Structure 1
Amino acid sequence: MYSKNDILSPFTLPNGIQLKNRILMAPMTTCTGYFDGSVTNELVEYYRERAGSIGTVIVECGFVDDRGLAFPGAIGIDDDNKIEGLAKIAEAIQSKGSKAILQIYHGGRMVEPSLIGGRTPVGPSAIAAPRDGAATPEALTAEEVEGMVTKFGEAVRRAIKAGFDGVEIHGANTYLIQQFFSPNSNQRDDQWGGSRENRARFPLAVLEITRKMVRQYATPAFIIGYRFSPEEMEVPGIRFDDTLFLLEKLAELGLHYLHFSMGYTLRPSIVDKNDATPLIHKYVQMRSETLAQIPVIGVGGIINKSDAELAIENGYDLIAVGKACIAYPDWTDRIARGETLELFIDSTQREELTIPEPLWRFSLVDAMIRDLSSMPTGKFKSGVFQEKVQADDHELMIHVNLETDRIADIHLESHADLDVTFVSSFETIRSRILDANTPLVDAVSGATTQSEAVKKAVTKAMAKSCKALALEEGGSLEPPHYDVVVLGSGGAGLAAAIQASDRDASVLIVEKMPSLGGNTLKASVGMNAAGTRFQKMQGINDCKEKFYHESLKGGKGMNNPALLRSFVDNAAEAIEWLADRNIVLNDITITGGMSIDRTHRPADRSAVGGFLISGLVRNINQREIDVMLDTDVIEILMENGAVSGLQVKNDDGEVLTIHTKSLVVATGGFSANHDMVVKYRPELKGFVTTNHKGATGSGIALLEKIGAGTVDMGEIQIHPTVEQTTSYLISEAIRGGGAILVNQKGERFFNELETRDKVSAAIIGLPEHYAYIVFDEQVRLNNKAADEYIGRGFVVSADSPRQLAEKLGLDMHTFLATLERYNVFVEKQHDEDFGRQTALRHPIHEGPFYAIQIAPGVHHTMGGVTINTNTEVLDVNQQVIPGIFAAGEVTGGLHGGNRIGGNAVADIIIFGTMAGRNAATWARN
């Protein structure tokens, strides 16, 4: 019935609907929905960009019930208020000439409780999934099963109303529909379980109600598909003959396509390891005439046109393209032109490829991202180069055979403890690299770590070969000279590098960690500034004098007055500096110690750190600023009393000399150096730290070696709200949004918006030495970070304060009285108990209600090297060390005895840009 002609020719489905070609975009998780599952503009544009030449786009799965989302950032189709956003996706796809199909699902027992507010997942039976840490679900009652079928039907109605051309019922990937059919997860003894016939009832009921909704609300043109996983590894579990049984039943009811869910189109059985026959071959041989009338989609491993044609030749009617559509939004056009593609994404191309930020960070995409700046170019010196590869606990050796213009071979040395799975993945990645003549290939599914290790080793071998050739031809391997070298790649370092580059300086960033971002990535609340245009737009009347005096008061009067004055005077300009570079902080909140909303954060109210670093790195890439990662600085080199260069060691152990005219040190503080913390503050022994592991004070030590002075080294700030099991900071924006702190009795005990040192001291003074930060749905809705905390499992939630008290072990009557009293204070805008004067935003009375157990942790080191208002580093005699500048937490003096929340982010941008500008000027003069 369906001829196996060109994959780019039209194809007609059993309901008479013609697809423009046999290519579909596979449904792939993007994690880009809002906290409630509604659609973001980013998601709409992501799908718009990939529609057009491709015949059909299958949109990622939408959950049919708010207990059914299986991953953070999932989109929902569980309520009519989701229709408007989903309609935008459908319209965006159809406006480019492609069909739009929405996949619908429920995660069942695969749902993490943290994703559904701490509630228990549901499933066919109260049996946990066979994976570490899986929650035991609540078994659905027979009545609830009927209700779940209805929810799938309502989802179909909403998809029709949103304008989609069809739905794909997600009966794969061990989600709820598959769980009902599986003898592993379904051990019921009613009409929904037991025999294979009974276990098939639920998927058949979902298809029946789907067909009913189509008859009632749509036209016969509406497409109905079904996705399935052909086997389960578990015992007992679904086997291929079980799947054929179910598919035959589905075919009898009527479907327009079936969609295999596998990692590779020609995958054999995962149960019978001795049978190498592709499952599609078995399917074609064993299906009935009825089933043969339904087109089948293949997915997995489709990168080039030849891959799709091979799948068609082996029995598939249609082809779904997954990761290649992310890397190449115009994939269909490219293969139509005969291009041969390699599956990777340039690390600088996120925005150009319209890939949403959450998807960019998702493992699906992260494994494809390549830093092309590190790729050796040019010809090779022929020969065999040896490189080490780390495989779990073993260090293996590979031999890379290079010819003048190609990678000739890659050989893995035998090893006594060589794991068979590593050998298998090595052979696959080896073939991919040799075929493409580049290590920039896709990692092997399920063996990403091993794949990346092999690719890195091949890249190093190529680099060594290029260097050897350069030496042979009389070239020099000495690193180039730079006008400015920046140590550290947090916010201060990146801002300095950008500003120096904008002043026409040649710039190099040296970072000891394997990735950019530093401790700034952990920043959560925002950036303080007074008198900004964003404040004025919101009617906030603020002034620099008030900002100055509140920061001075927060710092216990110990702040360096000149540095503080420069900080305050330049803060608003720094907000504009970011905005000019498309890093806009235009939502405003408040932090402890401030009397006015002056803490600037992203419009979506997300954590400021990741947003800042993403924007700054984008600017670094646009300017093609050189970066050296995994590189330790051994020594700062001086000549005639001024900086002349650096001695560094890269991750290969090579010691290199880098020449520079000026140096910016932005290496951060020392909160993660426990010995150094205890040296200056013995009472902090045993405290966790919120900082990343690179915050060791290495920059301070380097500068002290050349005579730099230090100041305030004993002034170490502890943050009051740290989740202790993970050392994760709970943003001050939560309290600034209206949350309160209660002790184990259920009582408030201090002004939540006092400075961090005072709030921390109050918590430490409690008998239990911890507290709970308590908030309601109103606070959560206005703080995107709260959803991250829920997703990470920090949050205890309940539908009522009474239930929350019970879960936390608080005295219920005391806790209810505390909330009632606080809510009266909010109404009066006067805290009679603790004098809280800010962020009395609204009563805590809208469920659900949330709590996070917290205690203080080491957060910020106010002390560091001494600088002047030009960011020049001073020696122990307060004299300028020529050519060396510093910014951020590596410096001391600005914050005095206590840092105000939101001032650190301002610090790194204000003084980072200043250091970059001054370093460029020094180099030029």
Structure 2
Amino acid sequence: MNTLTPILNPLTLPNGAVLKNRLLMAPMTTCTGFYDGTVTSELVEYYRARAGSIGTVIVECCFIDPKGPAFPGAIAIDSDNKIPGLKRIADAIKSEGSTSILQIYHGGRMVEPELIGGRTPVAPSAIAAPREGATTPQALTAEEVDVMITKFGDAVNRAIKAGFDGVEIHGANTYLIQQFYSPNSNQRDDKWGGSRENRARFPLEVLEITHKMADRFAHNSFIIGYRFSPEEIEVPGIRFDDTLWLLEKLAARGLDYVHFSVGQLLRPSIVDTSDPTPLITKYLARRSETLAKVPVIGVGGVVNKADAEMALEHGYDLVAIGKACIAYPDWTDRIINNQHLELFIDSTQREALTIPEPLWRFSLVDAMIRDVSDTGRKYKAGVYQEKVEAEALKLKINVTLDTDRITDISLVPDESLDVDFTTTFESLRSRILVANSPHVDAITGATTQSEALKKAVSRALTTSSKAHVIEEGGNPQAPQNYDVVVIGSGGAGLAAAIQAHDEGARVVIIEKMPTIGGNTIKASVGMNAAETRFQKIKGILDSKELFYEETLKGGKFKNNPELLKEFVELAPKAIDWLDEHGIQLNDITITGGMSIDRTHRPADRSAVGGFLISGLVKNLNQRNIEVLLETSVEEILCDNGVVTGVKVVDEYNDSRILNAKSVIVATGGFSANREMVVSYRPELDGFVTTNHKGATGSGIAMLQHIGAGTVDMGEIQIHPTVEQTTSYLISESIRGGGAILVSQAGKRFYNEMETRDKVSAQIIALPEKSAWIIFDDQVRSGNKAADEYIAKGFVISAPTPHELAVKLNMDQETLQTTLGRYNECVIQQKDEDFGRTTALRHPINQGPYYAIRIAPGVHHTMGGVTINLDTAVLNEQQQPIQGAWAAGEVVGGIHGANRIGGNAVADIIIFGILAGRNAAAMALR
């Protein structure tokens, strides 16, 4: 018995198994499995490095059925061929002296179709999860429910064969087992639904078959645990009384432990927000004698020894450690030696910490990564209250700050406020606290709520920063000094800021919108580059010369040849730069106007914009680069023709001067400024735009004010495939994946892979001035964006071309003939009708079949200010304006009269890096 700290005392479980201490490594997603869920060598070593002094390791959840993975890179236990890999993990943990437990689960309706080959997820009932864009699942039949229980049993048998000391049944996190127990997700009318007793039948049957497998195949001390989420915020939903009732039933059948699934050890109710009593306190007071014999695990917020000891003091028997075990593989040894730990990871230590690459890039882990050489900003310590407002959502939060970090974010109890986003809040709160920044990824399916919360936290930081300055005797509106000011937080601005920082400059980003990302976040297809290492890996033969020629031709030979040569030459280096910064674009497709696959995109084939911004923002957080949101630049300041800084106005209408020797303008184009568009192209009046509302051309106007010249201002691109009711861009990758365009008459009318201007013109020439983009399940499965369009309701689908034609009010035989003729072209790899030579990937012949109505929309403004090869802004006499730099769509000349799809992302990264490097070099002279 350890008298110094109770966390090192052993614990005997109800089945007789002895855990050598009270500490467990929590089951945490690593996203490190192979595509089919098999185990990788780096995952084995990850667990080996963290086993040893810690008593028990609970291995991340394993899906028990091919339709069960709830996240990319999940590991599986759905077939016997997974046993050898899982055995390597179990052996690695046990060889270091820790107990090994495997968590098993099925994601149910939380599974995204793209994770399971585009198939429909399954659930107790055909009810979509209450989140934006959620897919409606297919309800399991009674027979399928029985089969599912058998699959849980098979998984337990495999875990035993793999050598694990136990299994944890994952009945939490709104996955399938919880879905059966929830009155929100389970609205069946058979024996598996309806009353609480019926809804509990599924988790109880899973526990029963687990016992049967353990009795037949395992030793007597095989551990069976159960993880649960104590409440649901939904109405109707699981309440704490329901959870206690279920746990009593489970305990009566036999459990070795129960595992609270909460974000913080002492979290109170998310339903009754007026009651601050921790749920563990309620649990201890109300459990029966039977349930009291079952040890309970607490998790959430354990970083130091005092946190673990506090958990035991509040009644937990065991303590699970999450992110701290990632940051410190030897965490137990450190806290035994009374080290005080901070929850962050040195950006240079991935290999030393044995952290797999996918986990390193996972949002919550990546948010912990910091450049330890940067001290960050300072705040006035205290609690700052802010309002969160987004559509119908109105509530208040308290943000608690220390002098250099965010220490807590909490909801303010108020019955009049809408708190239906508590689950979103808990997840986002964790991300912000770990990153010590509000600039983190939004929660999937709750983007609007996430951005509102992030903005409220950002306001609290601004208020505190001003208070800190006042406390120190300063004036928060006094001029501030930087080396480089970056205006705009799209891809070009973020790349420029990161590069300038890494060159040694003190950098600030100014963004007039309330969120980071600019128009880049809406980018879909990818990033063009020739002669990249990823092309070589895939055996794609390409050349910079061909890339140059095709871009020049696509731009109707109006491109600035010097800028274009620089663009083509630096593109592969920009791909490598992104990869070095944790943003890998290693899948490759093609866009209109190109003859070779050179459009680089994420490995999961998702839209490039969100992926790119997420990765760049993580790099911002690691460097503690300051971002001022909802702050407008009134003017760029000059003295005798030399830039000296900017004058800014924040959302509170407070103005101040930011002194800097270099100002980088990366504010994008002007597609969302209808008056400006129409002034150059009157015929575009009335067209929708794919751009975000901040794309107003403000940067061009600011630079013109200090004498900048412009070029190609009348060259405005319309994109051919835009969903008109939402102005949502339908990615060129869909056509690049093999789709075709069909008129309302059911016929193809043009080469779909021609340049955007030509395809747009042909659509406008149709009688209805719109068309349908038609594709099948082969195209859908190769493009993650397609599932997004399905989720957003843009897509009409049918099992056969005839049925699709009926839904489209199109002649059935005509459409069938069109598809048949196109399929012949694919087989022959020759399109004699319209001369299409690229993306003839496979016949459109595998249902379901899909269609989206599209028409052109204003998409890109090729014109802008003039720059030289250093990205220095030129005046009307073509001379550099000292200290003024520009990158991205604010610049003209690179794309000529028409931009090739995939070239914009290349443009912003290539010239963003250049601008950052050169602006920093001049500022630091």
Calculate the TM-score normalised by the size of structure 2.
Answer: 0.80
Aligned partners of 1:777, 1:837: CA distance in 2, in Å?
22
1:371-414 deviations in Å (ceiling 9; x for gaps): 9979644999xxxx9977334399999999999x999x99x9x9
- 3-state SS of paired residue (1:392): strand
Contact 2:388 2:396 survives alignment (8 Å) = no
CA apart distance, 1:711: 1.8
Task: Map 1:346-745 to 2 at 5 A.
Answer: 354=355, 376-377=377-378, 389-392=386-389, 419=416, 456=458, 459-468=461-470, 470-471=472-473, 478-480=479-481, 482=483, 484-497=484-497, 508-513=508-513, 516-532=516-532, 534-536=534-536, 538-572=538-572, 574-575=574-575, 585=585, 587-602=587-602, 605-610=605-610, 612-613=612-613, 628-651=628-651, 653-724=653-724, 726-744=726-744
Write the mapping of 1:153-192 to structure 2, written as runs, cut at 5 A: 153-160=153-160, 164-173=164-173, 175-181=175-181, 190-192=190-192
**In the TM superposition, what is the alpha-carbon distance from 1:749 to its structure 2 partner?**
3.0
Q: CA deviation at 1:12?
A: 3.0
2:62 and 2:75 in contact (8 A); partners too: yes
Instruction: Check conservation: 1:740, 1:775, Cα contact below 8 A.
Output: yes
Q: Alpha-carbon deviations, 1:137-179, whole Å to 9, x = none?
A: 6554432322222232233344445554432223345544345
2:903 equivalent in structure 1? 903
Distance 1:665 1:804, change over 3 A: same
After TM superposition, the structure 1 stretch with the greater mean CA deviation from structure 2, 234-243 or 101-110, is 234-243
* Cα distance in 2, alignment partners of residues 476 and 630 from structure 1: 16
Question: 1:388, 1:396 within 8 Å by CA — same for their partners in 2?
Answer: no
Distance 2:580 2:181 in 1: 56
CA contact (8 A) 1:348 1:618 kept: no
Distance in 2, Cα, partners of 1:631 & 1:168: 49
- In structure 2, the CA distance between the partners of 1:615 and 1:225, relative to structure 1 (3 Å rule), is closer
How far off is 1:486 after superposition?
A: 3.5
1:52-77, Cα deviation, whole Å (9 max, x unpaired): 54433434444444555566776654
**Amino acid of the structure 2 residue aligned with 1:208:** E
Show the counterpart of 1:21.
21
Equivalent residues of 1:102, 1:166 under 8 A apart: yes
- Name the CA shift for 1:189/1:862 in 2 (closer, same or farther; >3 Å): closer
Aligned pairs for 1:730-879 (under 5 A) are 730-744=730-744, 746-776=746-776, 778-779=778-779, 782-783=782-783, 785-786=785-786, 813-845=813-845, 851-879=851-879
Determine if contact 1:4/1:312 at 8 Å carries over to the other structure.
Answer: no
Name which of structure 1's ranges 800-809 and 906-915 shifts more when overlaid on structure 2. Answer: 800-809
Q: What letter corresponds to residue 480 of structure 1 in structure 2?
A: N
* 1:152 aligned counterpart, secondary structure: helix
Task: Tell whether the 8 Å contact from 1:775 to 1:844 is kept in structure 2 after alignment.
Answer: yes
How far, CA to CA, are the matches of 1:610 and 1:298 in structure 2?
A: 34
Cα contact 2:83–2:159 (8 A) shared by 1: yes
Correspondence for 2:12? 12
Structure 2 match to 1:203: 203
Q: Which amino acid aligns with 1:479?
A: Q
Equivalent-residue separation in structure 2 for 1:545 and 1:450 (angstroms): 47
Q: Would the aligned equivalents of 2:388 and 2:453 in 1 still touch at CA under 8 Å? A: no
Higher mean alpha-carbon deviation, 114-123 vs 553-562, is at: 114-123
Residues of 2 paired with 1:402 and 1:122: CA distance? Answer: 43
CA distance in 1 between partners of 2:158 and 2:652 (Å): 57
Q: CA deviation at 1:192?
A: 4.0
Report % sequence identity: 66
Compute the displacement of 1:121 (Å). 5.7
Contact 2:55-2:99 at 8 Å conserved across structures: yes
**Residues 375, 459 of structure 1: 8 Å contact kept:** no
**Cα 1:14–1:105, aligned 2, differ >3 Å: closer, same or farther?**
same
Alpha-carbon offset, residue 832 of structure 1: 1.8
Cα separation, partners in 2 of 1:704 and 1:39, compared to 1, 3 Å: farther
Change (3 A) 1:844 1:42: farther
State the Cα distance separating 1:463 from its structure 2 match. 2.7
CA distance in 2, matches of 1:17, 1:238: 32
CA 1:475–1:760: 2 relative to 1, 3 Å: closer
TM-score scaled by length of structure 1 = 0.80
Partner Cα distance (2:41, 2:118) in 1: 28
Partner-residue secondary structure (3-state), 2:481: coil
Partner of 2:228: 228
Paired amino acid for 1:488:
G
> Residues 728 and 187 of structure 1: is their aligned pair in 2 closer, same or farther, counting only changes over 3 Å?
closer
Q: Secondary structure of the residue that 2:546 maps to in structure 1?
A: helix
- How many Å separate the matches in 2 of 1:635 and 1:616? 27
Other structure's SS at 1:518 match: coil
* Residues 753-794 of structure 1: per-residue CA shift (max 9 Å, x gap): 111112223334445544444445554555455565566665
Aligned mates of 1:118, 1:584 — CA distance in 2: 23
Matched residue type, 1:834: F
1:865 deviation in Å? 1.1
Could you give the per-residue CA deviations for residues 513-549 of structure 1, whole angstroms, max 9, x where no partner exists? 4555433343333333344555455554444443333
Contact 2:118/2:780 (<8 A) preserved: no
User: Residue 830 of structure 1: CA displacement?
Assistant: 0.5
Contact 2:101 2:167 in 1 (8 A): yes
SS at match of 2:702: helix
Q: Contact (CA 8 Å) 1:645, 1:657: kept in 2 or not?
A: yes
In 2, Cα distance between the equivalents of 1:25 and 1:511?
41
For residues 823 and 903 of structure 2, what CA distance do their matches in structure 1 show? Answer: 30
Q: 1:815 to 1:356 in 2, by over 3 A?
A: farther
**One-letter code aligned to 1:720:** P
Q: Tell me: CA distance 1:623–1:399, structure 2 relative to 1, closer, same or farther (3 Å).
A: closer
Q: Is the 8 A contact 1:388 1:457 kept in 2?
A: no
Q: What SS class does the counterpart of residue 734 from structure 1 fall into?
A: helix
Give distance in 2, aligned partners of 1:922 and 1:406: 30
Q: How far apart, in 2, do the equivalents of 1:919 and 1:5 lie?
A: 55
Moved more, 25-34 or 13-22: 25-34
Please tell me whether the aligned partners of residues 865 and 873 of structure 2 are also in contact (alpha carbons under 8 angstroms).
Answer: yes
Q: Distance in 2 between matches of 1:540 and 1:660?
A: 45
CA contact (8 A) 1:604 1:784 kept: yes
Partners of 2:199 and 2:73 lie apart in 1 by: 31
Equivalent residue, structure 2, for 1:148 = 148
Q: Is the 8 A contact 1:666 1:889 kept in 2?
A: yes
Cα pair 1:387 1:397 within 8 Å, conserved: no
Tell me how large the CA RMSD over aligned residues is: 5.4
Letter in 1 for 2:890: V
Asked if residue 312 in structure 1 is aligned to residue 309 in structure 2, the reply is: no
Residue 469 of structure 1, CA deviation: 5.1
Which letter maps to 2:254?
G
Q: CA deviation at 1:863?
A: 0.7
- Residues 204-353 of structure 1: matches in 2 within 5 Å? 204-216=204-216, 218-229=218-229, 246-262=246-262, 265=265, 280=280, 290-300=290-300, 302=302, 304-322=304-322, 332-338=332-338
Consecutive unaligned residues in structure 1, runs of 5 or more: none
Number of positions where the alignment pairs a residue of Structure 1 with one of Structure 2: 904
SS in 1 for 2:661: strand
Once residues 442 and 311 of structure 1 are traced to their aligned partners in structure 2, the CA distance between those partners, rounded to angstroms, is 30
- Answer yes or no: is the 8 Å Cα contact 1:114–1:792 preserved in 2: no
The alpha carbon displacement at 1:550 in A equals 1.7
Shift of 1:507: 5.0
Alpha carbons of 1:224 and 1:862: their partners in 2 closer, same or farther (altered >3 Å)?
same
